[in-house]
Chains A and B, each alone.
Chain A
Amino acid sequence: MSEILAKTESVVKKSKALGADEVIARTVDGRNRQVRFSNNQIDTSLAWNYLATYIVLSWKKRVVATQIPNFQKVDPTLKRLFELAKVSKENPMYGGFAQGKFNYEKSTADKSIDSLENPAELVFEAIEAAKKEAGPVTNTGGIFLASIADIYQVSSEGPAGKDCRSAVELSIRAFSDKEASGHAVECSSTLKGFDPARAGKKAGEIAKQAKNPRAGMEGKYDVVFDPLFVGSLLGMWGSMASAYSVMVQMSIFVDKLDKKVASEIVTLRDVPAAYSISNRVFDDEGVPTQENVIIKEGKFKTYLHNTSTAKIFKTKTTGNAGIVSPSPWNIEMDPGDMKREELFKEVKHGLYLTNTWYTRFQNYATGDFSTIPRDGIFQIENGEIKQSLKDIRLSDNALRMLKNITGISKEHQHVHWWSEADPPSLSPYILMKDVQITTSK
């Protein structure tokens, strides 16, 4: 047993000795390297490392949590935590932490991230690829982030293990002109196969095509969404599948189990797979993560659960804990049977939207919201991109949009950027009918 795992186990034992009913301790040893760039130059290079143990314990259904840096002041912190539990209030909906011994899959994290010498070189590759595509005056900015974390987790209820989680991502936005931009990302759990130039090239391609935009017009359009935009939509739908979101009415999926919520061609899964930057072999209760089919052929199949929410909904945990709130790890939309080009050919008069930001709701339960397309916005006429557009807003309904998906591409991409396309996803191109577009007046 490693020293950190032994210390983590000791935290659990000490908590039990104080009188805790159930305890989980998770120690994270995280290392992060980031490069931020703009105007084709590096603005700053950052490194942040931390070692901290996150502890949650219950006593007579009172749930309290804390964190301890570097195993310092363990005893007084645990004593204080247990005192907190005694004066806290019972949570009658608390269903305990997961019980049992589990065999976890071996982590496939990329340890070479620890010895990544000069990430700036990867940034320069992306910048050059964008400039090659969109021209030498192209202005680019973005981030490169490489992170790796060793996770040591022990539960008094049985689960115990070690995981290693790694992620490499590059996000680049290229401007061929002040109002002509393209945005692309490259995301992977390993440096192997990580190709920053691929993102630079795509951002450059979109930026070049986006030149000379005209103001868009209000109306209903058939829309082809790029995987990056789809990543934002999948993050929105996936987060609403959390049982917690459902319980507080922040979801369009309230009372929707086994009901039709989407077009029959839509199947959505939560898959914390090895390729994903959100890869993990167990959740925050130590339950092995698994593939969960959220929507199958248009029907809503399961909420995402931890042990407590599963008991409330009279089902089993789905391996998505969060102690308070279960959450999706990595959303996948099953690929369709059309090629990207075939989706475009289906559109007589419509739009191709490559990215979006600032998604906000009027009402999560009904799904009324708007979001602002940015970067390449294109008019499609008879299957072909004809004109770059700007200054539009997608003002629609999250449930109606799921039902209006009419085509899904075979091609897909692993995407994530900032808090906009989050959590990460495996996203195809999708075609959606009758999307409501509004503009400023």
Chain B
Amino acid sequence: MGIYVDKDLVDFALSYAEGKKVEYAEVRAHNEKSEGLVMKNGVLDAYFSAVDSGFCVRILADGGIGFASTNKWTRKEAKNVVEIAYKLAKTAKRKNKITFAKEKNVNISWEAEEKRKIEDVPVETRIATFTEMDKELTSQGISIPGRMLSAGTSLTEKYFVNTEGSAISSYVPLVSAFGFLTVVEGGKSEQAYKQFGYAGGWEALEKWKLTEQMINEAKVLQHVIKEARAVTPGKMDLVCGPEVTGIAAHESCGHPLEADRILGREMSQAGMSFIYPQGPFWLGSKIGSSAVNVIDDPTVKNSYGYYEYDDEGIKARPRYLYKNGVINEFLQNRESASKLDTRSNGSSRSVSYDREAIVRMSNTFVQPGDYDEDEIFEDVKRGVYMKSFTEWNIDDKRFNQRYVGREAYWIENGELKQRIARPIIETTTQTFWSAVDAVSKKVEYEAATCGKGDPQQGIPVFTGGPIMRLRGVYVK
């Protein structure tokens, strides 16, 4: 694996914790080797390379949770963080004691496949890849005065042990890139960003076709400035490209089905959910048409949100969130599952050894339907095709959302006509998903960084889906 976690010390910390009156204890170590670059308008601002490693101890005692972490790999420090975590757990003084859902212990080692080893890629190659991309981008005859690009790799080794006998080693290499463009034409500007992410080796670059994609974005923005017109607001059909389908799946399905949010644990930051106990929506409630199936699946190979076991040692599996338009399954960790009298479905994730693992999405996407893409369009008399989006947001109960089109077209009698400038759909979760009547066969993914937790834990995910048609929604 090329990087190293001191497993003996981790085991020592766990055995030291076992000597306390704990209901449960775990020790999770991360060793992350990262490299990256930041480029501004074609100039390499800086190249960084670092190793960050440490471990955390989480203890459940007297029905309270204590967490302590350190980056000092010594026995003295291991004892110290156990003592701190134990003491913190006992300060909770909870009326309702926290318990964890019962799960099987696991002893396993797993890793993501890395075809072209990241450590074998010379720094010169990494830098050249992105400087060449910028050269190509700026040789297209398009004015792009603002170009920001960051790219990086990380090799993360983890070792997890708990008092129930689990011991899991893992290794995940990630490759990522982020580009932001400003195109100016005739005094007007349009902007776009693209994010790329891949669990695996440097073969990611061949799969992404980064240069081609960024040039395409620049051309799209130029066309939008020159040709796009505003849409006349009104009710019409809306065809969402995979990028739009994916963000909707993430924001108005994945997030509201996070069980910790439903139970209020994120109430002061990321908020709660339109789904709550004794509320109008719960498991089994209709939220969309029968064409709607949204899945969160960490097991998609090479996906940006890939993992086989979560950060509580639970085996990952697909979670069927909306099934035939019905709220079907929440994302659970052991704490939320216990409160809701169910089992964890392996949704506990942490970005670092010094952050607690909380309920997170992995790869959230609309499942494919049975329509050919042509069929989706040919039945639209008047509507908008929102292929990609720019501004977006959603309220903290995950019910009122807005997506503004970046690349968009007018559809008339099944044919794509002129470009539309920044069309907007601003609607509720129920209206959005209830309007879906057709879903195409091919899923496409986009990489994203999902924000949640305090301090913020930006975690890698895929969003995605096929092309999806909504009937009679208000577009402005």
Question: Contact mask B258-295 → A, CB, 8 Å, 1/0?
Answer: 00000111111101000010010000000000000000
A120 CA to B264 CA, complexed, in Å: 19
Q: Which of A170-178, A260-268, A270-278, A344-352 contacts B (4 or more CB under 8 A)?
A: A170-178
Query: Please, which residues of chain A bring their CB within 8 A of the CB of B145?
Result: 249
Instruction: Say which residue of A56, A69, A372 sits within 8 Å of B396 (CB atoms).
Output: A372
What's the Cα separation between A395 and B54 when bound, in Å? 43
| B53 & A358 in contact (Cβ 8 Å cutoff) | no
Residue of A nearest to B63 (CB): A41
Q: Are B123 and A84 in contact (CB under 8 A)?
A: yes
Bound together, the chains give a CA A62 to CA B191 distance in angstroms of 29
Contact A44 B45 (CB under 8 A): no
Q: Are A247 and B123 in contact (CB under 8 A)?
A: no
The answer to whether the Cβ of A227 comes within 8 Å of any Cβ in the partner chain is no
What does the 1/0 interface line of B174-186 toward A look like (CB < 8 Å)? 0000001010000
Q: Give CA–CA (A141, B65) in the complex, Å.
A: 16
With an 8 A cutoff between CB atoms, is A81 at the interface? yes
Q: Write out the residue numbers on chain A whose beta carbons fall within 8 Å of the beta carbon of B269.
A: 143, 171, 417-418
Question: CA of A93 to CA of B396 in the docked complex: distance in angstroms?
Answer: 42
User: Which one of A45, A62, A249 lies within 8 Å of B64 (CB-CB)?
Assistant: A45
CB-CB under 8 A from A1, the residues of chain B are none
With A178-B276, A419-B451 as known contacts, state yes or no: A46 contacts B68, CB within 8 Å: yes
Known: A360-B393, A372-B394, A439-B426. A38 touches B267 (CB 8 A): yes
A440 to chain B, nearest CB (A): 5
Provided the pairs A51-B72, A364-B191 are in contact, do residues A324 and B392 lie with their beta carbons within 8 angstroms?
Answer: no
* Chain A minimum-CB-distance residue to B72: A70
A233 in the interface, Cβ–Cβ < 8 Å? no
B88 adjacent to chain A (CB < 8 Å): yes
- A418 and B454 contact, CB distance less than 8 A: yes
Interface string of A161-182 (1 = CB under 8 A from B): 0000000000111010011000
A-B contact count (CB 8 A): 246
**Nearest Cβ in chain A — how far from B334, in angstroms?**
13
Binds A, one of B93-101, B155-163, B208-216, B300-308: B93-101
Docked complex Cα distance between A249 and B393 (Å) = 22
CB < 8 Å neighbour of A67 from B50, B189, B395: B50
Scoring B44, B124, B265, B428 by chain A CB atoms within 10 A of each residue's CB, the highest score goes to: B44
Kindly state the separation between the CA atoms of A359 and B89 in the bound complex, as whole angstroms: 35
Given A41-B95, A63-B47, A120-B91, is A374 in contact with B65 using a C-beta cutoff of 8 Å? no
User: Which residues of the other chain, A, contact B190 by a CB distance below 8 angstroms?
Assistant: 363
- Taking a contact as CB atoms under 8 Å apart, the answer to whether A67 and B146 are in contact is no
Residue from A52, A172, A360 whose CB has the most chain B CB atoms within 10 Å: A360
Given contacts A42-B92, A248-B182, A358-B394, contact A52 B264 (CB under 8 A): no
Contacts of A194 in B (CB 8 A): none
Q: A45-B89, A50-B54, A365-B191 are in contact. Are A360 and B391 (CB under 8 A)?
A: yes
Cα distance A418–B191 in the bound complex, in angstroms: 26
A363 CB contacts on chain B under 8 angstroms? 189-191, 390
Q: Which residues of A are found within 8 Å of B180, using beta-carbon distances?
A: 248, 250
Q: B396, A64: Cβ atoms under 8 Å?
A: no
The residue in A46, A56, A77, A371 that gathers the most chain B C-beta atoms within 10 A of its C-beta is A46
Tell whether, in the assembled complex, residue B69 and residue A91 are in contact, meaning their CB atoms are under 8 Å apart. Answer: no
Tell whether A370 pairs with B65 under 8 Å between CB atoms, given A120-B93, A365-B191.
no
Instruction: Tell whether B328 is near chain A: CB-to-CB under 8 Å.
Output: no
Q: Do the beta carbons of B268 and A142 come within 8 Å of each other?
A: yes
* B191 close to A91 (CB less than 8 A): no
Is there contact, CB below 8 Å, between B94 and A41? yes
Q: Which residues of B contact A171 (CB under 8 A)?
A: 268-269
Q: Which of A34, A48, A361, A393 is close to B402, meaning CB atoms less than 8 Å apart?
A: A393
Q: Which of A84, A141, A358 contacts B264 (CB 8 A)?
A: A141
- B38 on the A face (CB < 8 A): yes
Interface residues of B in 56-104 (CB under 8 A from A): 56, 64-72, 81, 84-85, 88-89, 91-96, 98
Whole-angstrom CA separation of A208 from B147 in the bound complex: 47
CA A331 – CA B85 in complex, angstroms? Answer: 36
A418 and B189 in contact (CB under 8 A), knowing A65-B48, A440-B428? no
CB nearest to A117 among chain B residues:
B91
Separation in Å of the B275 CB from the closest CB of chain A?
A: 11
- Find out whether the CB atom of A64 lies under 8 angstroms from the CB atom of B48: yes
**Chain A residues, Cβ within 8 Å of B296:** none
Those of B411-431 within 8 Å (CB) of chain A: 422, 426-428, 431
User: For the side of the interface on B, what is the size category?
Assistant: 35 or more
Min CB distance A185 to B, Å, is 10
Given A42-B93, A323-B46, CB of A173 within 8 Å of CB of B267: yes
Interface presence of A438 (CB below 8 A):
yes
Chain A residues within 8 Å of B65, by CB: 43-45
**Bound Cα distance from A440 to B476, whole angstroms:** 11
Residues of B within 8 Å of A120, CB to CB, are 91-93
Q: Distance (Å) between the CB of B322 and the closest chain A CB?
A: 19
Chain B nearest CB from A344 CB (Å) reads 25
Interface string of A372-409 (1 = CB under 8 A from B): 10100000000000000001010100000000000000
CB of B356 closer than 8 Å to a CB of A: yes
A414 partner residues in chain B, CB cutoff 8 A: none
In the assembled complex, the Cα of A289 lies from the Cα of B371 at a distance in Å of 61
From A44, A91, A93, A374, B271 is in contact (CB under 8 Å) with: A374
Q: B92 near A41 (CB under 8 angstroms)? A: yes
B191–A249 contact, CB under 8 A? Answer: yes
A101 interface contact, C-beta 8 A: no
- Contact (Cβ within 8 A) B127 A365: no
Task: Please judge, given known A-B contacts A45-B65, A47-B88, A362-B404, whether A81 and B49 are in contact too, CB under 8 Å.
Answer: yes
Contact with B along A66-103 (1 / 0, CB 8 A): 11011000000100110010011111110000000000
Given contacts A47-B84, A370-B391, contact A418 B50 (CB under 8 A): no
- Residue numbers in A under 8 Å from B148 (CB-CB): 248, 250
In the complex, per-residue mask of B18-58: 1 if CB is within 8 Å of any chain A CB, else 0: 00000000000000000000101101111111111110100
Within residues 124 to 142 of chain A, which ones have a CB less than 8 A from any CB in chain B?
Answer: 139, 141-142
Q: Using Cβ atoms and an 8 Å threshold, which residues of chain A touch B474?
A: 441
Does A104 have its Cβ within 8 Å of any Cβ on chain B? no
> Does A36 have its Cβ within 8 Å of any Cβ on chain B?
yes
Q: Does B388 reach chain A (CB closer than 8 Å)? A: no
| Minimal Cβ-Cβ distance residue in B for A361 | B391
**Residue of chain B at shortest CB distance from A143:** B454
CB atoms of B268 and A172 under 8 A apart: yes
**25 A–B contact pairs at CB < 8 A?**
A38-B265, A41-B96, A43-B65, A43-B92, A44-B64, A45-B64, A51-B71, A51-B72, A52-B52, A65-B47, A69-B72, A80-B49, A89-B44, A90-B44, A91-B46, A120-B93, A173-B267, A173-B268, A248-B148, A362-B390, A368-B391, A369-B391, A374-B395, A393-B402, A440-B402
- Chain A residues within CB distance 8 Å of chain B: 34, 36, 38-39, 41-52, 56, 62-67, 69-70, 77, 80-81, 84, 87-93, 118, 120, 139, 141-143, 171-173, 175, 178-179, 183, 244, 247-250, 323-324, 357-366, 368-372, 374, 391, 393, 395, 417-419, 438-441
- Further pairs besides A48-B354, A66-B48: 7, Cβ < 8 Å: A38-B264, A44-B88, A48-B70, A87-B122, A244-B40, A249-B146, A365-B189
B residues sitting closer than 8 Å to A (CB atoms) are 38, 40-41, 43-54, 56, 64-72, 81, 84-85, 88-89, 91-96, 98, 122-124, 127, 131, 145-148, 180, 182, 189-191, 263-269, 271, 276, 279, 354-356, 390-397, 399-402, 404, 422, 426-428, 431, 451, 454, 456, 474
Query: Which 9 A-B residue pairs are closest in the complex by CB-CB distance?
Result: A249-B146, A45-B88, A141-B267, A249-B182, A173-B268, A358-B393, A441-B474, A142-B268, A44-B65
